[in-house]
Structures are given as C-alpha cells and as structure tokens.
Amino acid sequence: MAALNDNFSKAELRIPAGFDISCYVNSSAIPADQIRAAVEHELNTTQFIDIHTHLFQPSLGSMGLWGIDELITYHYLEAELFRFNPITPVEYFSLTKRQKADLIWKTLFIENAPISEATRGVVAVLNAFGLPTSGALTEARAFFESRTLETHIKEVFRLAGISEVVMTNDPLDPDEAPMWEKGAAGDPQFHPVLRLDRILNKWAQHWEVLRSQGYDVQEDGGGKTMAEVRRFLGYWSNLMKPVYMAVSLPDTFAYPEDSLRVKFLTQCVLPICRERAIPLSVMIGVRYLVNPALKLAGDGVGKSDLRALERLLLDFPENRFFTSLLSRENQHELTTYARKFANLMPFGCWWFLNNPSVVEEMTRIRLEMLGTSFIPQHSDARVLEQVIYKWRNTRRTMAPILANTYQLMSEDGRPVTREDIRHDINRLFRENFDTFTRRTV
C-alpha cells in the first residue's frame, strides 16, 4: 500500500472505503475515472510550504496573532462589515477587540449567511476544531483560551497540511526589531523574510530611525546614504538570515526612474540579494489607503505597467525575483514574462485575487503556459488558524484543475501515473520554493 502520511486519517484523505489504490503504488497508467481521486490523494498527503504569511514564530511573542477574536477581526472581514452595518469606521475602531469581534460575528455570521470567502474561512476553522459555527462565541473563546501555543501551532499545521511557513519580518517595526536584537530563537517551522516597505516606500518617515541607530543617512539619499543602507541590510540579514527579501509596491511602480526607491532597489537591495544569493519578492499593484478611514482594510488595487518588471528582469539577470501581482488584469502578462525570464518565479493569488473563481482562472493560465514552473499559492495568513481554511480552499480548487490537466494529457496520448502527480504537486508546493531560494533541504 502507498505510504500514507501518518498525520492524516483515511477519512481526512477522503478515500472511499474499499477504494482500490493499487494504481498509486506502481507507475502504471491511472484509469480516467480515477485521476481525480489520485490528484486529491496526492494533494492531501503532500505537506506544503507556505511561502508568504504574516505569522510569527513563538519567540517573537505577541507579534503572532491567533484565536477566535483575531480571526473574526481579520481586516478582510472588517472591510465586509461596513457593507452590512451602518457603524462608521471611527466608531468601529474605538471598540475593544472583543466588541469588534462580537459586532462582526453578529453582522456577518448571524444576521447574514457567511457566504463570502473570508467569512466562510472562519466557519471552516471553527468546524475543523469541532466548534459551533453559529450562535454564541462562548465555546469557541473558551476553546482557544485553553490552548497552549506550541501544541496549537503543531495541530494547526497538521490540519492545514503544511510543514513550514515563511514570515514577514520588518527590521523597522519598533515592536519586532528589539526581539531580533535580543536574539529571538529561530524555529524550523517559521522562516524569516526581510521586509523592505519602510525603506523603499516610506523613507521620509524612517530615515531618522536609521540615523538614530548610528547609520550616517540623509533624507535626500545623498552622502553615505547608499553605503549605509547596504550596511543596515547586511546587519539585518546576518541577524534574521532571511530566505528572501520582500517589498510590496504601488501600481504606479516605475523602473528605471529617477527616485530614491529605485536607487535603494538597485544600489542596496539587489546587490545584497546577489551577495547573499537570495531572491527578492516584489508584490506589485497596491493602491495604498484609497480609503484611509479603514486603516489596514483601506488599500485598493491598480493595474501596473509591467514594462518596469521587464526592465528589472533584463537589467539584473543575476537576481531572482519572486513576483505576485494584485491586479487580475496583469496576470496573463506576468505569466508571459515568466516564459521569457527564468529569474522570475510567479507566485500566489494575492489578497483580492484569493477567491476560487479568480484562483481557478489564474492557475489554469499558469499551468497551460508554464507547466509546473510556478508557485500556485501562498496563504497570506495574518492569524495562525487561517492557514487551515486557506490551504483547504487551495486544495479544493486545485484538484479539478490538475485532474483536468492530466485528463487532457492522457487523451492526447500520454498516460498519467501516480509518480507524475506526486512529482508535480511536490514541485508546485515545495520544490520550486526550495530551488528558487537555493535552500538546502
């Protein structure tokens, strides 16, 4: 019998009782009517690597969010609250966390059926832990309060079918940075990423912070600024040992351009990435705070001119770029660029794109144009338990897409084997990340 992952029961793997899995254990062709089950089996038994989240290793203390009130006050749900409840953002943000959660729960889960992607996610998490999905939150709150973080993380990862997550670590976050400097212990389940938004997007508000730390930088980027920012990034790379560096960029991102952002990018970030042999992740297409009153929920999306990315890929062939774009309209173009530039790794269906209809479209385009040479999804989880529903949804959306792909291949004359499916899923959800980051595994 195939070596089923011990972490999954047969029921969890959705293998019907009496189902013949012998075609999975040798390299014989899988019959057409069993391709879908074979794909589901491999998706369910492969432990994915979650390549971009906002989760934190336990040694970073209260940075890491988890539990029912955090799940319900996720900013994706805050944005939905204002569509259904007349409360103003000012009134809402003056509430305590628990009051906010109660209001969102009442509005989006009790007075209305939770049919949106983000609301269904909370339901799926409650369901995964056997908690009530309607009515009062009392039992859910008591359950999460009774958990100890380390064992809870293990259980959450097991339910999500992931082995590791990649964090987002900001060296200019006044809460986070001191913990790294005090020597926060590393964790094999959480990989650091050096996030650059405050340097590349908000230099005017942060140059003095660097200066106060002893870096000889100037607001206009003159003098020793470039060398000093390189020194800053080198210091933080030594401290965090990031698997890559990352930045989110506006839809208006331009390159080449006579701007401080582009100077920092080309004279500081890309050289350090080359020196350390790590990729840079560029996430392009955010329209920051289109509605500032909504705070974290206030960002929007804009279509980008990808000639900027094209020039970066062309000018820096020795750098590797993970890329995720926020606009649906940019996705086909990005996939085409990946066919031109091997130093580009498209990843994920980011933020407003992480809905089954769009994920399906994007994934089909990518598979048809790139085979398995991309990374289909990341969770972007901000609250620990979100990985359970986000990865469940990914598996659910992927299964028919991949099954259809193999079906077409078989119809065209190349039978599909269990090894093909296992190899491809492993490549999509693990190996492409390991290879692109040149991680030794």
Contacted entry of ligand RAT, Zn ion, none for residue 382, CB cut-off 5 to 8 Å set by kind: ligand RAT
Candidate list 382, 418, 427, 430; residue touching ligand RAT; CB under 6 A:
382
Sequence-distant (6+) residues with CB within 8 A of 145 are 67
Residues composing the chain: 441
54 vs 100 by CB, closer to ligand RAT: 54
Contacted entry of ligand RAT, Zn ion, none for residue 351, CB cut-off 5 to 8 Å set by kind: ligand RAT
> What is the signed CA dihedral for 243, 247, 253, 259, rounded to 10 degrees?
-100
Paired tokens of 326? 């926020």
Of 70-78, 135-143, 378-386, 391-399, which segment contacts Zn ion by CB under 5 A?
A: 378-386
Count of residues in contact with Zn ion, rule CB under 5 A: 1
109 vs 374 by CB, closer to Zn ion: 374
378 touching ligand RAT, by CB under 6 A: no
Long-range contacts of 207-216 (CB under 8 A, 24+ apart): 209/172
Which residues within the stretch 270-299 sit at the binding site for ligand RAT (CB under 6 A)?
A: 283, 296
8 vs 351 by CB, closer to ligand RAT: 351
> What is the signed CA dihedral for 184, 189, 193, 197, rounded to 10 degrees?
-90
Of 188-196, 333-341, 375-383, 409-417, which segment contacts Zn ion by CB under 5 A?
A: 375-383
- Look-up of token digits 């089923």: 4
Sequence-distant (6+) residues with CB within 8 A of 149 are 58, 64, 66
Tell me the closest approach of the beta carbon of residue 133 to Zn ion, in angstroms: 27
198 touching ligand RAT, by CB under 6 A: no
Cα dihedral across residues 141, 146, 149, 152: positive or negative: negative
Tell me the closest approach of the beta carbon of residue 378 to ligand RAT, in angstroms: 9
Tell me the closest approach of the beta carbon of residue 236 to ligand RAT, in angstroms: 18
Tell me the closest approach of the beta carbon of residue 272 to ligand RAT, in angstroms: 20
Q: How many Å apart are CA 222 and CA 81, to the nearest integer?
A: 46
Sequence-distant (6+) residues with CB within 8 A of 350 are 283, 285, 324, 325, 326, 378, 380
Amino acid identity, position 433: F
Count of residues in contact with ligand RAT, rule CB under 6 A: 7
Q: How many Å apart are CA 310 and CA 39, to the nearest integer?
A: 35
Candidate list 46, 73, 201, 248; residue touching ligand RAT; CB under 6 A:
248
Q: Beta partners for 286?
A: 250, 301
Q: Beta partners for 233?
A: none
54 vs 395 by CB, closer to ligand RAT: 54
Paired tokens of 271? 């050289």
Contacted entry of ligand RAT, Zn ion, none for residue 395, CB cut-off 5 to 8 Å set by kind: none
Paired tokens of 51? 């390549």
Indicate the SS3 state at residue 190.
strand
Of 68-76, 105-113, 271-279, 374-382, which segment contacts Zn ion by CB under 5 A?
A: 374-382
Contacted entry of ligand RAT, Zn ion, none for residue 248, CB cut-off 5 to 8 Å set by kind: ligand RAT
Amino acid identity, position 250: P
Which residues within the stretch 105-144 sit at the binding site for Zn ion (CB under 5 A)?
A: none
Candidate list 380, 385, 420, 424; residue touching Zn ion; CB under 5 A:
380
CA distances from 144 to 22, 110, 138, 387 (A): 41, 21, 10, 16
41 vs 382 by CB, closer to ligand RAT: 382
Tell me the closest approach of the beta carbon of residue 108 to ligand RAT, in angstroms: 18
351 touching ligand RAT, by CB under 6 A: yes
Which residues within the stretch 8-67 sit at the binding site for ligand RAT (CB under 6 A)?
A: 54
Phi, psi of 49 (to 5 degrees): -105, 125
Tell me the closest approach of the beta carbon of residue 15 to ligand RAT, in angstroms: 34
Q: How many Å apart are CA 35 and CA 418, to the nearest integer?
A: 9
380 touching ligand RAT, by CB under 6 A: yes
Phi, psi of 103 (to 5 degrees): -65, -45
Tell me the closest approach of the beta carbon of residue 334 to ligand RAT, in angstroms: 17
- Which residues of this protein are in contact with Zn ion, per CB under 5 A? 380
- Which residues of this protein are in contact with ligand RAT, per CB under 6 A? 54, 248, 283, 296, 351, 380, 382
